[in-house]
Each structure stands twice: as C-alpha cells, then as structure tokens.
Amino acid sequence: MAEDSSSPPLVLASASPQRRAILERVGVRFTVRPANIEEIQRGEPAEVVVANALSKARAARLHAGETVLGCDTLVALERRIYGKPADIAQARATLRALSGATHTVFSGLALLRGERERVAFARTEVSIRELDDELVEWYLAKGEWRGRAGGYAIQGAGSAIVREIRGDYENVVGLPLAALIDLFPELL
C-alpha cells in the first residue's frame, strides 16, 4: 500500500548511495539527512548496529512529525567487529582476516514516527573465498573498500571475492529491505 503522495517523505539519516539506491528501486519517497554521530564500535554486534541506527535517527530528526530512518551496518567475524577501514592498510588487513572464512553482516534499523521508536536488525552470513595476495591487491586497487563495512562491496567487484551468502542480499549491500518492510509495512 503506497503512502499518500502528499504525505511527507521518509527522512533517511544516511549518506549511503547504496541505501538510497535500494529505496529508489522500490519507489520510496525520501529525503537524505545524514547524521554525524560517534558510532559505537565495540559490543554485541546486533546491539551495536541497533544503538548506532537509533543514534543516527535521533540526530537527524528535526521535528516530531517526521518519519526518520537510521541505519547501521557492520561485519563480525568470531566476535570481532569490522567497520569501515580507515585506510588501505586497514582494508588489506580486514580482507586477509575475512579470507577463507564465513562472517556475519549485521544491519540495524531505527524508525522514528511521532513519539514511537521502533528498531530491528538483520543478519546475513557471507563466505569469502581464499584470497591470495594478488587477489587482495586487485580488489584494493578497485577502491571499493572505502566507506564499506568489512572493506568490500558485494554489489560491485567485491562479488568476485564472495563465495556464498546465506540470508538477505540487500542487508550485505547496506539496507535489509525485508526487515525494513516488516518494521514499516506502509512504506510501500
């Protein structure tokens, strides 16, 4: 069920082009208002992404009448969290850590509507192929590691380093659409 075209659009508290593309692809009306917060980097991954998403949504909200969506995504391997690499050396170390292993991509969602705050999270298992030095350097040269949790982009050249996923593909891209629709069914 589509929202009335006169209703205010969703406010996306993220500058992520991947999140924008997913919302555009399903025809959601939205505006972008990135929130600049200090993200939590330690703790239980599902709790971390939900807390970060909620902080982003709260920071982006300008008035109570808005519907604001905050999102956060991270990669976890054996209880270690891998966020966005700060530089190419950190991206290289992250890819080597993920090589030949299965990690979990967690995304948190926070939806603020009126006085209500609703949260959800999604998880997807991703197996990365064994990466030799040549493949790691090939991928790093693509530059996709910048601004990506876990240092790779599955929707780009990063698909060449992924062996298998179990779960929501859109979650790995950065916005778990199924969880969002469960949280906010009137979005569509």
Question: How far is it, in rounded angstroms, from Cα 150 to Cα 183?
Answer: 26
In the residue annotation, 87 being an active-site residue is answered as no
Question: How far is it, in rounded angstroms, from Cα 23 to Cα 39?
Answer: 23
Nearest to residue 90, comparing CAs of 147, 14, 45, 165? 147
Nearest to residue 119, comparing CAs of 169, 58, 168? 58
Pairing of strands 67-77, 10-12: parallel
For the chain, the distance separating the N- and C-terminal CA atoms, rounded to the nearest angstrom, is 5
Q: Write down the catalytic residue from 4, 72, 133, 182.
A: 72
Q: Which helix (H) or strand (E) holds 85?
A: none
Contact 30, 9 (CB under 8 A): yes
Identify any residues that bridge with 30 across adjacent strands, giving them in sequence order: 10
Identify any residues that bridge with 57 across adjacent strands, giving them in sequence order: none
Q: Which residues are catalytic?
A: 72
